[in-house]
Amino acid sequence: MFPTNNVSRRQVLRSATAVIALPLLESFGFRRYARAAAAAAPPKRLVFLGFGWGVTEESWYPGKNTPGADYVLPAGLRPLERHKADFSIVQGLRNKFSVEGHAGSTWWLTGANPYAQAGQSYCNTISADQVAADEFGRYTRFASLPLNHSEINDQSGHGPGLSLAWDASGKPIGGENGPLAAYHRMFSKDSVPLEQRQQLIAQKRSVLDTVLENARSLKRGLGQNDNEKLDEYFDSIRNIETRLSKDEKWLDRPRPDAPLGEPNSTLSGRDEIKVMYDLIVAAFQTDSTRVITYRQPVATLLKSLGNSTAPHDMSHYHSTRGEKLVCSQLRDQTQSALLAGLIDKLKATQETDGSSLFDHIALAYGSNIRTGHDLTNCPTIVTGRGAGVKLGENIVVAKDTPLCNAWLTMLQGIGVPAERHGDSTGVIPELQS
């Protein structure tokens, strides 16, 4: 006879079905830091997937005159056919401050005015994922996982930044560049004994104390602007301290077993995205984080498809069309197929209560650039049942509705008590089911 505790239920699940095994941690009172209410239901998760150079406008958007569920899926989205009832495309969104036709991601999740700060050539504010990370980050080993492509220097039209994520002071947050780095961050086992790891943390603290001592002596005599500059250094150290405190809390809990093998270090382009999507699922399965962004490669994607068209050239297919248009459409279809694969996995991955990961996720996929230099009607797909967003529809909202309204709708949908984000003017009722 099976005992009736959680552990055995998990074992039953594992032995009786082919579903992906749940993490061991789920069942060992793992949530003792979580609020009591949150322990009952599987947690909410948020994902943003961004690509740089927009899409092929002719073959990616459904007709604006066929809003609602009864619309024809255009060629660029056809690989998503099997999930048609489970995602919505939102048309009419834009970031009103974005006037830079070459930066597909810098302000995508922030909606910031690049020129808001005097004395800087551009600036930014916090991104939507980090707003969620502030709320959910305390429950997991990683407050968020900003993932980035493995291209050396961005050639994928993303613009300034290190990932899609920007911190509370509008500074870029470094991402894990490529699947191997992301894998090691999440799953690399610590073989060092606990006591020694505690000593190591203490050691790291004294390293930080030492550089802070140096920073304080440097601070004397600095002018106001320079002090603000040095504050970035203090902030960086403080962030590490916060992380150390968190590490300390997590010290006695081993990293979860990886539900997948170590990715090959040579992955690039299509394979890289595919494995990164697998890692996103793995991160949620193991509850390593609840907030993920991924700044996807486009340049290496094209290369991996055997396409030699330069990515920026491709994004300007409009006047010559020809091979550039072909390339652009191939990009759309490949990206859609990859997204469809991710949705498959999210649906197939079960939570403790028998629901699927897909039921608890809110995912947005898109770019700040529609096509060429066009920054209106930014390509936006939302999916996942986690935020109570209406799925299965071609949702046409009022022209130039702030993208941040969509982000706010998602944030509130997953339970982040945000009242506004970026240049938002409110939630989008049409998006709520």
Partner 1 sequence: MMKPLLTTYLFAALFFGSGSVSATELPIVAIEQNQFTILEKHCTDCHSGTDAEAGFRVDNLSLTIDDKLSATRWQKVLNALNSGEMPPEEEPAIDKAEKANFLEHLANKMVDARRLLADQKGEITMRRLNRREYRNTLRELLGVQANVSELPGDTGTGAFDTVGSNLYMSSTQFEQYIALGRESLNEAFDRQAAAGVEKKTRFETEEITPKVAKFIEYQVDAKARAENWIKEVDKAVADPANAAAIEEIRAGPLGKHRDILYRNWKKLKGAPAPETFGFQTEEDNADKALAASRPFHLPYHRYYMEQPAIATGAYLAASSEHPSVLDNATINMLVPWGWPVGDYVVRFRIAATEHATPDRRFIEFGINPRLQQAISVHEVTGTMDEPQVIEIPLKFTRANAERANRSLYLREKGTRDDWEQATRVAREGRDENNGIGRKFALWVDWMEIERVPNVEQPPGVAALNQLPLDDKSPEPKDADLRAAFQQFAVEAFRGDEPTPAYLDQLVEIYHSYRQLGQKPSDSLKDTLAIVLASPMFLYHSEPSDPNQPRQLTDRELANRLSYFLWGSPPDRPLQDLADAGELQDRQVLDQQVTRLLNDPRADDFVDAFTYQWLGLERLDFFQVNKNHHPRFDNSTRMDACREIYETVGRLLKNDGSLNELLESDQIVINGVLANYYGIDGVHGDFYRPVTVPADSPRGGLLGMAAVHLMGSNGDTSNPIERGVWVLRKLLHDPPPPAPANVPQLARLSGKPLTTEQRLTAHQEEPQCASCHRKIDPIGFGLENFDAVGIWRTEDSYQALDDNGKPVADGKVTWTINPAGKLHKGPTFENYLQLRSVIAAQNDAFARGFTEALIQYALGRPIGFTDATLIEDVMKQGKRKDYAIRSFVRAVVHSTEFHTK
d(CA 60, CA 123): 31
Considering only residues 6, 27, 376, 412, which one is a binding residue for partner 1 as defined by CB under 8 A? 376
Beta carbon of residue 156, minimum distance to partner 1 (angstroms, whole number): 12
Sites for partner 1 among residues 304-363 (CB under 8 A): 308, 310, 312-313, 318-323, 325-327
d(CA 326, CA 309): 10
Beta carbon of residue 61, minimum distance to partner 1 (angstroms, whole number): 14
Both tokens of 104, joined, read 């597909």
Please report whether residue 232 would count as binding partner 1 according to CB under 8 A. Answer: yes
160 or 415: whose CB is closer to partner 1? 160
Considering only residues 120, 188, 264, 266, which one is a binding residue for partner 1 as defined by CB under 8 A? 120
Please report whether residue 398 would count as binding partner 1 according to CB under 8 A. Answer: no
Beta carbon of residue 268, minimum distance to partner 1 (angstroms, whole number): 15
Beta carbon of residue 71, minimum distance to partner 1 (angstroms, whole number): 23
Contact residues for 432 (Cβ-Cβ < 8 A; gap 6+): 388, 389, 390, 409, 413
Please report whether residue 143 would count as binding partner 1 according to CB under 8 A. Answer: no
Please report whether residue 115 would count as binding partner 1 according to CB under 8 A. Answer: yes
CA distance readout (Å), 433 to 193, 387, 430: 50, 9, 8
Beta carbon of residue 360, minimum distance to partner 1 (angstroms, whole number): 29
Question: 197 exposed, middle or buried (CB, 10 Å; 0-12, 13-18, 19+)?
Answer: middle
**Sheet containing 176-177: which strands, arranged edge to edge?**
176-177, 145-148, 291-295, 45-50, 361-366, 380-383, 87-94, 394-402
Please report whether residue 101 would count as binding partner 1 according to CB under 8 A. Answer: yes
The 148-177 contact track toward partner 1, x by CB under 8 A, reads ----xxxx---xx-x----x---xxxx---
Beta carbon of residue 221, minimum distance to partner 1 (angstroms, whole number): 3
Both tokens of 385, joined, read 């049942």
Task: Give me the phi and psi of 370, to 5 degrees please.
Answer: -75, -55
d(CA 338, CA 216): 49
Considering only residues 110, 367, 371, 409, which one is a binding residue for partner 1 as defined by CB under 8 A? 371
Please report whether residue 100 would count as binding partner 1 according to CB under 8 A. Answer: yes
Considering only residues 3, 29, 221, 417, which one is a binding residue for partner 1 as defined by CB under 8 A? 221
Tell me, rounded to whole angstroms, the distance of Cα 63 from its chain centroid.
28
The 187-206 contact track toward partner 1, x by CB under 8 A, reads ---------x--xx-xx--x
Nearest Cα neighbor of 343 from 91, 148, 144, 80 is 80
